[in-house]
Structure 1
Amino acid sequence: MLTFVFVCLSISVTGLHADFTVVVGSPSVKVKENKGVDLKCSYTADFGATPRIEWKFKDLKGYQFFIYFAGMITAEYEGRITMYDGGLRFNKVTRADSGDYDCEVSGNGGYDEKTIKLTVLVPPSKPVSRIPSSVTTGNNVRLTCFDADGSPPSTYRWYKDNTPLPEDPTKFPNFKNLTYKMNVFNGNLEFPSVSKLDSGSYLCEASNGEGAPQRGDAVHMEVRDLNVGGIVAGVIVALLAVGLLLFGLWFASKKGYLPKKAESKPKQQAVYTQPRADDMDDGDGEFRQKSSFVV
């Protein structure tokens, strides 16, 4: 028992029970595009006087890159960042720098890491929308809207005849007869079964809190009933055309305008004729066939 207590006291006094802790200034940093920014990362003395420090970056698509490795700034970041005791500094950021930055420290048998999320703020651009100009009642119709530049990603709003559409139409008496579904995060406006009440001029708006919201072009969507009469008329015309074609072929055949099939000639048959006696023996006892088949 005394030995166990002595060992525990020895570990505490000699500092073998180390924390090995990495600390970041802020786990989430936001900065406007083309501005400089510091990503601060410090660590406890348990790692020793010369710990191994590495910085890694993972972009929004999930690809990972080294920024600082083996005591050197990697080629992709030379001239863009500066390392100092306690972090790194971007001279100027772009929207491609948004993502997660890992600060990893190891030494004296210890290891720890912390992540800093960097968001480069970029206003939205004019969104690209896809709105059909004419649709048929009862069909599933989807309108789309997308802003490629906004950071953080934009959210979307739709307008019909310059009136903003609520995200959930069932909660508003003026829109309760509309059956659309709106996704404010991906910009889709979907009509599971479009009706004539949905006819109108539509446009979408993108916003992310940076700069002014941006609107796309307005497009008038006309919802039309299925033209049953036109379909029936088309079928009748097609049947009449087929009937006239068949009648024309019959009439031409009857008048002899069409070439007749060539009459087949009878096949020639081989007829066997029994040889005469004088043909069989020529006096020397040798058989001589003079004629046997007549064609």
Structure 2
Amino acid sequence: MFSNQEVRSSYILAIGLFYFVDFGNPLTVSVEGGRYSLSKEVVEGTNPLLTCQYESDNSSGNKRIEWSYISKLQPKNRTLIVWKKVLNAFVDKFALSEHQASLRILNISRTLAGKYICGVSAPNEVPSSGTGFYNISVVVPPAKPICKYRTLVVPRRSRTGFTCFSNDGIPTPKYAWYRDSVRLPLNRSTNPLTANMSYVYSEVTGTILFSRFTKYDEGKYSCVAFNRVGEKNCSSFYVRSGHDRGQMSHILVAMVSLLYLIINVT
């Protein structure tokens, strides 16, 4: 049996050994830029690389690599992608890089946005595991917008309008209108070239309205849908002003009268 004094001395010695013995560097895991976690924005259709690195003194020990994924569409479900290697169900979507534990996403789509977790395990080390995280957002350039108009010959001093719409894009696209290849300002009074025009338009809806179409509004029009990823434009179209409605009614009356005379003379 050990005396209380011997037990106390052994305990103090153990504490001293814990503080002074060099156990080496523990296993650490980091993602891009040496961070523990990172939010990253990628463009749909690209092949982003999710870097995952680990460090430890035991470079020869076996390391087990895991990658899992939590979808933004199903945040309560966690899917295992890699267990030492890419699982068969995901070989067409993911590939392990030669750079340690890094993962490449193949032809990423918006459905693959979410949280990606890199895990490295080393059973013979303390601590025996580490993780790194990516929050992946997928952005999409606008699709080619479609422009619509009522007529290409607008009665002078009448109301008319054009619409522009892109059915895809993340973030949601905004719109800009151009006349003769020059972008129209939202506030037309700020530019001498547009001060006499009669339009108003919204970059959110893509609709441009003319309260009183005149020769100052004539020209070749096009619309651009844009977001921070890219931009696309619709096919351009030329719009001109015609006779106003009063003149057209007078012309119609004159034509009817002339036709009446011709019929009666013959």
The two structures have a TM-score, normalised by structure 1, of 0.47
What's 1:267 paired with?
Answer: none
What's 1:24 paired with?
Answer: 32
What's 1:126 paired with?
Answer: 144
Cα deviations across residues 111-156 of structure 1 (Å, max 9, x unaligned)?
543216476887x653223444489x999978332153x6787654
Residues of 2 paired with 1:109 and 1:208: CA distance?
A: 45
**1:218 is matched with which residue: 216, 237, 245?**
237
Residues of 2 paired with 1:7 and 1:138: CA distance?
A: 92
Alignment of 1:151-230 (within 5 A): 156-160=175-179, 163-176=182-195, 178=198, 180-183=200-203, 186=204, 188-189=206-207, 191=209, 194-197=210-213, 202-206=221-225, 213-218=232-237, 220=239
1:86 maps to 2:97: no
Give the match's secondary structure for 2:193: helix
Alignment of 1:39-50 (within 5 A): 39-45=50-56, 50=63
Cα deviations across residues 49-100 of structure 1 (Å, max 9, x unaligned)?
54562232646xx45673615556355522343224321234x515557745
Give the match's secondary structure for 2:107: coil
Pair 1:120–1:8, CA change in 2 (3 A): farther
More strand by percentage: 2
The answer to whether the 8 Å contact 1:154/1:208 transfers is yes
Segments of 5+ residues of structure 2 without an aligned counterpart are 1-10, 122-126, 247-266
The answer to whether the 8 Å contact 1:67/1:73 transfers is no
Q: RCO higher in 1 or 2 (8 Å CA, sep ≥ 6)? A: 2
The answer to whether the 8 Å contact 2:53/2:102 transfers is yes
Pair 1:58–1:214, CA change in 2 (3 A): farther
**1:143 is matched with which residue: 159, 163, 169?**
163
Give the match's secondary structure for 1:79: coil
Pair 1:55–1:190, CA change in 2 (3 A): farther
Q: Shift in Å at residue 17 of structure 1?
A: 9.8
Residues of 1 paired with 2:16 and 2:26: CA distance?
A: 13
What's 2:5 paired with?
Answer: none
Residues of 2 paired with 1:15 and 1:130: CA distance?
A: 72
Q: Shift in Å at residue 196 of structure 1?
A: 0.6
Q: RMSD in angstroms over aligned alpha carbons?
A: 5.5
Q: Shift in Å at residue 204 of structure 1?
A: 1.0
Pair 1:29–1:15, CA change in 2 (3 A): farther
Q: Shift in Å at residue 158 of structure 1?
A: 1.0
Q: Shift in Å at residue 165 of structure 1?
A: 0.9
Query: Aligned residues, how many?
Result: 213
Q: Which has the larger radius of gyration?
A: 1
The two structures have a TM-score, normalised by structure 2, of 0.50
1:56 maps to 2:51: no
